[in-house]
Structure formats: C-alpha cells, structure tokens
Chains A and B, each alone.
Chain A
Amino acid sequence: QQQVKQSPQSLIVQKGGIPIINCAYENTAFDYFPWYQQFPGKGPALLIAIRPDVSEKKEGRFTISFNKSAKQFSLHIMDSQPGDSATYFCAASSGYALNFGKGTSLLVTP
C-alpha cells in the first residue's frame, strides 16, 4: 500500500507561476521528508529535505512547508522556469528506507 500519497499527478504552469505539489502520510514514525527531482532519462536527484521539527525550509526557489499535525507536506517552486519541467517525487523515511509518492509531472510553459 502506498504510504505516501502525492497530488496532483500532473501540473502545467506558466513561467513565473508557483506550482504546489502536496503529499500526505499516515506513519507517525516518519522523521525525514525529502523531495526528489527527475529529468527524462536520468535517475532522481535530491532537491530539498525537511525534518518534522521545523515547519518550513527554503533552498533557493524551492520551499517545503510541513504540517506535522495534519501529516502533510508540500513543495512550492517560486518563479518557476521551463528548466524546472521534470517529475517530482516526495518521500518519507523512518531511518532505513524511503517510501516514495507516485510522482508529479510538472510542465512549465514559456
């Protein structure tokens, strides 16, 4: 069963827009929440990650918002660019293996 639920499955935004991808989990033992970015023909690569002791983390144009009580976290991409077009995966871990969401295919149009 999918331990991390991710939505939407696909997303199209214009350049400069702020796409938001949401994830939810049930297992309260999860204590590490990374986001991975995957370009066609490549393996996923870590984009940004957060621990549940903080509610927000920013790295450049990418921000994770974390709501521990709701067991939800989301990725926001500020000032999105066509080069951000990729598949994004959220994940959650309790220290030994990552549980991935099903992925969101993002297209940023010029």
Chain B
Amino acid sequence: DADVTQTPRNRITKTGKRIMLECSQTKGHDRMYWYRQDPGLGLRLIYYSFDVKDINKGEISDGYSVSRQAQAKFSLSLESAIPNQTALYFCATSDRTSGLDTQYFGPGTRLTVL
C-alpha cells in the first residue's frame, strides 16, 4: 500500500551494529505498529503507538526501541543487532475512528543480520 512506506526495503548489517527502520504514512491515521514476520511464526507485535505520546510494548519488544517523531512517522531501532533479529519487518497503521481497527500494512523491510 503506497500510503504506508518503509525504508529501507532491504538491509544487510553485521552483529552489534545499530540500525533504524523507518515508516511513514499519508493516511492520517493515529495508530501505528511494528511487527516482525518469521517463517512459520506469523506476525508478532513489537511495539505500537496510539499517538505521538503513547507508545506501548508488544509481545516481543526486547532488543528493540521505537520513536514516534510525528503522527505520520514511526521508527524502529535495533540498538545492537543480533542474527536472530533477521526477519521481515512490517509497519502498519490504523484509525481508531473506524471502529474496526483495520490495519494497513507497508511493503516490509527485509533485514539480515550477519
């Protein structure tokens, strides 16, 4: 969905490096999420934010941090990357006013930690 963009789309890094994945949205949604997808494990929630001042840990937040710089921007950081953080990362947005919490996903970032 072009309304939710993620950069970079692919990233290869080394163990111990700090990296940042960025997400931007033009949908005007207040809620934003970061998930990771691993084969056979589905999508697991890392962090979510209901507005700029409201950030919450998800199921698997250890080793990750986030920053909500503006309503439209939500970044995910790996302070010291490790190989088991190799995964596909998705950003998503939703609009609480819709009443259904439909989430719109970005195209994903494929991260490889060597």
- B-contacting residues of A (Cβ < 8 Å)? 6, 9, 32, 34, 36, 41-46, 49, 89, 93, 95-103
With A34-B102, A46-B102, A46-B103 in contact, is A102–B33 under 8 Å at CB?
no
Q: Is B101 an interface residue (CB 8 A)?
A: yes
Q: Is B48 an interface residue (CB 8 A)?
A: yes
Q: Is B74 an interface residue (CB 8 A)?
A: no
Taking a contact as CB atoms closer than 8 A, the residue among B4, B41, B58, B108 that contacts A102 in the complex is: B41
Closest CB of chain B to A99's CB: distance in Å? 8
Q: Could you list 11 further interchain pairs (A-B, Cβ under 8 angstroms) beyond the known A43-B108, A89-B42?
A: A32-B101, A41-B108, A45-B105, A46-B103, A49-B102, A97-B45, A98-B43, A98-B45, A98-B101, A101-B42, A103-B42
Please state if B43 and A44 are interface contacts (CB–CB under 8 Å).
yes
Closest CB of chain A to B89's CB: distance in Å? 10
- A-contacting residues of B (Cβ < 8 Å)? 1, 4, 33, 35, 40-45, 48, 50, 56, 58, 90, 92, 100-108
Does more than half of chain B's interface fall in helix, strand or loop, or is it mixed?
strand
Please state if B107 and A102 are interface contacts (CB–CB under 8 Å).
no
Closest-by-CB residue of A relative to B92 is A43
Q: Which residues on B sit within 8 Å (CB–CB) of A96?
A: 48, 50, 56, 101
Please state if B33 and A100 are interface contacts (CB–CB under 8 Å).
no
Closest CB of chain B to A8's CB: distance in Å? 12
Please state if B100 and A49 are interface contacts (CB–CB under 8 Å).
yes
Please state if A45 and B58 are interface contacts (CB–CB under 8 Å).
no
Please state if A44 and B40 are interface contacts (CB–CB under 8 Å).
no
